[in-house]
Each structure stands twice: as structure tokens, then as C-alpha cells.
Amino acid sequence: MVADKQFLIKKSQAGDLLAFEELVKRYEKKIYNLACRIMGNQEEASDILQETFLQAFRKLASFRGEADFSTWLYRIAVNLCFMKKRKGKKMKVFSLDAPILTDTGDLKKEIPDNWSKNPLASLENKELKEYLNKAINQLSPEYKTVFILRDVDKLSNTQVAKILKLSLSAVKSRVHRARSFLRHKISSYFKEHKE
């Protein structure tokens, strides 16, 4: 039987390390994928993942449940990503197709492969995915983060607003601007690759 999230949180707040370990197992892939997309680097994402759960453990007693636990974790991870970027760490571009290596084996990325099995189409689609990945990395951090949380991680505007401590209208505006930028980039790609 899978333990209820609220039960695990209460037990973790009381010092139960096994309960906290279960919470880590439930959220580590999502937090890692988020950090990987924001930082653009698997090594830095691993550091962010570890630091997120260390901070969460230290601050668990202050978690009052006003926001969902996952929203709280996302906020910690996003803040850590921003802090690391402000310290002048260089961003590196990584492939969405590269495996994620962990101590327990490879993690599958949560990116569905809806691309064609036709070899020529697969080659073109791979090129388009790389182009889109580069375009996402060209977004400024505030637009990139909102885009990732909203359109990649499929969080609601309200959840994104809570995570980033923004107004709902600011989230909607940033999502719109990020999508417009990416739409322009993709349109340019297709114009360049017309036969």
C-alpha cells in the first residue's frame, strides 16, 4: 500500500527518515528533470537535486501545507537554480536524448517520443528537436523557467505563480512571451527548411 503524502510529511516532520526517504523517491525525478532543463547541465542538476532535498529536510518543520508539497519543493529547486546561475556558472547545452546517469542506474527523461519511425523523418525530427532545445536555452531565465514549469512540467498557472512568487497575470504574460519567441524560432526553422 502506498503511504499517503500528508502522512509521510507528518512523519518526516517528526524526524522519521524512512518517511522522508519515501518523499524523496516520489519527487526526485521531477526535481532532477526541472533542474536539468533550467541549468542545462546534468552535473549541476544533480547538485541542485541534492541541495533541494537537504534544504527541504532542514526546513521541513516550517512547512505548513499552505501550498502543495510539490509546489514547495519546486520553489526550493527553482530558487537554488537561480542562485547558482547568479554566481556566474556557465550554462552548458545538453542533449534531450542523452541518458541521465545516477548511482542507481539510468533515469528516463519524461519527454515523450511522438516522432515518426520513418528514417528520413526521424533525422529531420531529431534536427528539429535540437533546434527547439537550443531555442528554449535562448530564452531569458525568467521566461525559460516559466515555460518549463508550465508547458514542459504541465503545472497550472496558479502553481507556477506560487512556485515563483509571481502574480497570475505575470505568469500568463511570461508564458505568452516565451511561446511567442519559440513560435517565431520554429517558424524560422521551417522557412529555412522548405523544399
Residue with cell 502506498: 2
Buried residues in 131-161 as b, exposed as e (16+ CB within 10 A): bebebbeebeeebbbbbbbbeebebebebbb
- Verify that 118 and 152 share a domain, yes or no: yes
pLDDT score for 174: 94
- Verify that 82 and 157 share a domain, yes or no: no
Domains identified in the chain, total number: 2
**Given a cut of 70, is residue 60 above it in pLDDT?**
yes
- Verify that 86 and 132 share a domain, yes or no: no
- Verify that 84 and 32 share a domain, yes or no: yes
- Verify that 48 and 77 share a domain, yes or no: yes
User: What are the two backbone dihedrals, phi and then psi, of residue 102, each rounded to the nearest 5 degrees?
Assistant: -130, 175
Tell if the pTM clears 0.75, that is, is over it. no
pLDDT score for 25: 94
- Verify that 116 and 90 share a domain, yes or no: no
Q: Please state, in angstroms and rounded to a whole number, the distance separating the CA atoms of residues 153 and 30.
A: 8
Residues 64-113: pLDDT tens digits? 888 889 999 999 999 999 898 888 645 444 554 555 566 666 655 554 44
Q: Grid coordinates representing 131?
A: 533546434
Q: Which domain holds residue 90?
A: 5-95+100-105
Q: Cα separations (Å) of 39 from 75, 82, 136, 186?
A: 15, 9, 12, 22
**Domain final position from 105, 136, 167:** 105
